[in-house]
Amino acid sequence: MSYEYNGSVIQVAQPVLSISVNKSNVIFADKMGMRNTRFASPSDARSFIKWLTNTSA
């Protein structure tokens, strides 16, 4: 699955094993390993987390 943000694509390989959030940084672990993604604002990070948790269910 992929998430497009500001013209770049964030690839996510299911299943998502863990998610950690600190303001505009989102670190998640999927079946391909740990990834750190920085967003321009906390609201952008929240949108990504919402997408990530909805697609993981």
pLDDT computed for residue 57 by the predictor? 55
pTM over 0.75? The answer is yes
Which tokens go with 54? 């909805």
pLDDT digits (tens, 9 = 90+) for 14-50: 899 999 999 999 999 999 999 999 999 999 999 999 9
- Asked if 56 and 49 touch (Cβ cutoff 8 Å), the reply is no
pLDDT computed for residue 8 by the predictor? 92
